[in-house]
Amino acid sequence: MAVTRTGGASARWLSFAEAQTAQLPFDDPAETVITLDYSSGQRALEDDDFPFEVLSDIAEAESWRKEINRPTTHIHKWWAQRLGTVFRAMVLGAFAPSGTDLFELFYKPVRIKDAVVFDPFMGSGTTIAEAVKLGARGVGRDINAVAHFLVKCALSVHNRKAILDTFHEIEYDVADKVRSYYRTTLPDGSSADVLYYFWVKVIDCPSCDTPVDLFSSMIFARHAYPRKYPKSRAVCPSCGGINEVRYDAKDAQCTSCNKCFNPSDGPANGQSATCPTCAHKFPIAKTVRTKDEPPEHRLYAKLVLMPDGTKTYLPATEEDHKIYAKAQRSLSRRKNAYPIVGITPGHNTNQVLGYNYRFWHQMFNARQLLCLSFLADRIREIDDTVLRELFTCLFSGALEFNNMFASYKGEGTGAVRHMFAHHILKPERVPLEANLWGTPKSSGSFSTMFEGRIRRALDYADNPFELRVDHSAGKRKTEKVYGLSEKIGFPVAEDYASFAEGKRVYLSCGDSSATDLPDGSVDAILTDPPFFDNVHYSQLADFFHVWQRHILGDDGYRQQDTTRSEREVQNAQADDFTERLSGVWKEAHRVLKDDGLLAFTYHHSRPEGWRCVLRALMEAGFGVTAAQPIKAEMSVAMPKHQAKEPIDLDIIIVCRKRSQIQKHKWNGDLFSTVTPVATRQASRLIDSGRRLSRNDVRIIVMAQVLRQLSHAHSMEDALQILDDMNGDTEALIEKIHSLQKNRSKKQKGVS
């Protein structure tokens, strides 16, 4: 590694030792830049003292607001969007020589000139974005057309003025037309914008045919922190009046009709509902399936933005129903207003199919479809391809918050809970309809997402920053450090020939087990492969894909009306997952230079998940040289909060070609090999203040087991030992996990 000062006559080179201790300014990277010389030999990512504790603290800070701290790779929904902090560290560690103070290097303006970094599972583009920020060249490939599309939009060169002008042109042409369907007349005769409409699913009682509202509670609006802010709103089951109640109230008297009711109770309870008219109890899903259509919805309330800027909950009126009926009539007269594409059965779509949602457009109500069609038709008219794709990306992102699977998060936070909060397609019993164009006080609208996603991403692309965490004075303070990275925005190559001529970024859509990259053309492969589980991204991504295709046409990667592929790695079947992952690793082995690293993040709570990875790596000719625990992305994800033993860590699994590493015969002796390393890593994390679940410890232990086994002379021996040692690994996991309990008891005793 060397440092070069590019400031004219004063330019000079510093030695590696000098570079390690040089105090370099953050504000002018053009004057002082560290250039990494990625010669052969062990890399910093393989060092035992890789600073995963402090890097995890930075990643933790990023994870709470990923869309703000890494907006370029969060302009659109993708699942398991990895943390930029982690991948910046991985890029640096893959090229910095062993012994480098990687934490110190993290906050210096580093450039890795001419290095080619490949991500075969590019997802939201985190690897490519972090690589090009550091001056490297990025090659990204993903089998899913939605992933390819959003990364292309994120990393392309964008003309800020043209983007702003185009937005204002769309606003001029469409905004008032959309807003007209989200207006209401107040009691004093004045007009106001409706921020949100509140709906409830309705199904007929199988016994008496009376429509039953599927409320589990009549309280429909509460604060995100109800104990601190207990005021909530409940709808009267008798007259529909809106009442102010405590969030935990068990009795209330309606201020409109004076009837008493239990605000915390409702007809729906779990998977069943009870008819208020005849008291018949019936299963909800089974009753829905007796019909040919999805359940109907009833509009019962709205949140209005008053002229003075305050917000008021009001019951739905006859005027509201008339405006909605007008939208239904207008929609029926429009041609090609929305995509009509069937939903294919699958693990992540069977639930909605069970509720009779047969087509993607059925997830929206008539007003949403009408207003979306206004926007879609206008975006389709944009002449410039890059601009048309960027605004299609914005439109597609807004879909996540403007459908009848979205719900109300409440006050004190972003109001709209998007449809993928649970990573599944979950039919919402009390959906929220947001104002599609939006107001300055809206959440999830087209206009606010332009400000919050597109403009923020443009700002970050022009001036990227990293987060620094300061623990002084007993409080954690986060600050932004600028001047470390190159700007983001490049002409994107669409084939390797264009990339070979000098373009910085090459993105493609297709099976990563078969690429057009030449042998030995890649310096490092850094990625986050799909997990061996039941969340199939393509089944969920089709929700966006059909609309992107509706606007942009069926050219290129959008020829099919689905993003599903038989060659997807993501698969719940162990053998299929292993075969396809192995295929990608074999291709990685072919295109990677002999002295290059393959490093990827991974975690899994089941033994099969680790066995699959070991087998795939060894079949492809890779062995594990290091395994570093690091903060995973899920600080605020719903699945994490619902898990009994939540996983908060990923493992960075670092690999080299087996032809470059020394083989050994290992008998599964955990005590002398795995135990010291795993215990040391867990202790470092615990000492840094991080609490580890049993599954976090399992990840640390299993990664070190794989590290040992991957150096075996044969894959068959490695897999046999892994199968035989399950009981021993469980005992070791329990032993290390108990360290945390013992330390906690000692600390309490001291205090």
Q: DSSP string covering 602-669, please?
A: E--SSHHHHHHHHHHHHHHTEEEEEEEEEE-S-SS-HHHHH-SS---EEEEEEEEEGGGS--------
647 assigned to some structural domain: yes
The mean per-residue pLDDT over the stretch 126-143 comes to: 98
275 assigned to some structural domain: no
- Residue 615 — very low, low, confident or very high, per pLDDT cuts 50/70/90? very high
Query: Range of 41's domain?
Result: 36-157+458-535+570-750
Burial (CB count within 10 angstroms: exposed 0-12, middle 13-18, buried 19+), residue 108: buried
9-21 pLDDT per residue, tens? 333 333 344 444 5
The mean per-residue pLDDT over the stretch 425-432 comes to: 95
The mean per-residue pLDDT over the stretch 320-344 comes to: 98
Please determine, for residue 564, whether its predicted confidence score (pLDDT) is greater than 90.
yes
pLDDT value, residue 5: 38
722 HSE (CA, 13 A, CB side) = 28
Please determine, for residue 531, whether its predicted confidence score (pLDDT) is greater than 50.
yes
Confidence (pTM)? 0.92
Higher pLDDT, 568 or 701: 701
164-175 pLDDT per residue, tens? 999 999 999 999
CB 35 within 8 A of CB 3: yes
Please determine, for residue 384, whether its predicted confidence score (pLDDT) is greater than 70.
yes
Distance separating the N- and C-terminal Cα atoms of the chain: 48
Nearest to 59 by CA among 638, 627, 467: 467
pLDDT value, residue 749: 53
703: domain CATH number? 3.40.50.150
Please determine, for residue 38, whether its predicted confidence score (pLDDT) is greater than 80.
no
Out of 135-144, 374-383, 475-484, which region has the weakest mean confidence (pLDDT)?
A: 475-484
235 HSE (CA, 13 A, CB side) = 26
The mean per-residue pLDDT over the stretch 683-695 comes to: 93
186 assigned to some structural domain: no
- Residue 555 — very low, low, confident or very high, per pLDDT cuts 50/70/90? confident
- Residue 666 — very low, low, confident or very high, per pLDDT cuts 50/70/90? confident
Please determine, for residue 743, whether its predicted confidence score (pLDDT) is greater than 80.
no
pLDDT value, residue 639: 43
Please determine, for residue 283, whether its predicted confidence score (pLDDT) is greater than 50.
yes
Out of 170-184, 345-359, 674-688, 737-751, which region has the weakest mean confidence (pLDDT)?
A: 737-751
**Which two tokens mark 746?**
């000692």
CA distances in angstroms from 384 to 154, 158, 381, 389, listed in the order given: 16, 11, 9, 9
510 assigned to some structural domain: yes
Out of 34-43, 284-293, 538-547, 651-660, which region has the weakest mean confidence (pLDDT)?
A: 34-43
Please determine, for residue 312, whether its predicted confidence score (pLDDT) is greater than 80.
yes
Give the percent of the chain with pLDDT over 70.
92
Say how far apart CA 719 and CA 152 lie, in whole Å: 40
42 assigned to some structural domain: yes
pLDDT value, residue 3: 40
CB 57 within 8 A of CB 466: no
211 assigned to some structural domain: no
- Residue 640 — very low, low, confident or very high, per pLDDT cuts 50/70/90? very low
Q: What is the DSSP string of 441-486?
A: T-SS-HHHHIIIIIIHHHHHHHS-EEEEEE-GGGS-EEEEEESSS-
Say how far apart CA 327 and CA 178 lie, in whole Å: 10
Interhelix angle 537-552/385-399, rounded to 10 degrees, is 130
The mean per-residue pLDDT over the stretch 557-577 comes to: 87
474 assigned to some structural domain: yes
pLDDT value, residue 707: 96
The residues that bridge with 232 in the sheet, in sequence order, are 245
The residues that bridge with 14 in the sheet, in sequence order, are 3
- DSSP category for residue 171: I
CB 213 within 8 A of CB 266: yes
The mean per-residue pLDDT over the stretch 681-688 comes to: 95
Chain mean pLDDT for the chain: 91
pLDDT value, residue 435: 98
Say how far apart CA 117 and CA 505 lie, in whole Å: 10
Please determine, for residue 297, whether its predicted confidence score (pLDDT) is greater than 90.
yes
231 assigned to some structural domain: no
Say how far apart CA 176 and CA 183 lie, in whole Å: 11
pLDDT value, residue 422: 78
Angle at 317 between CA 315 and CA 318, to 5 degrees: 160
The mean per-residue pLDDT over the stretch 14-33 comes to: 48
Number of domain units in the chain = 1
pLDDT value, residue 412: 84
Which stretch of DSSP H or E encloses residue 102? helix 102-106
Say how far apart CA 156 and CA 14 lie, in whole Å: 34
Helices (H), 657-725: 674-687, 694-709, 715-724
Higher pLDDT, 594 or 557: 594
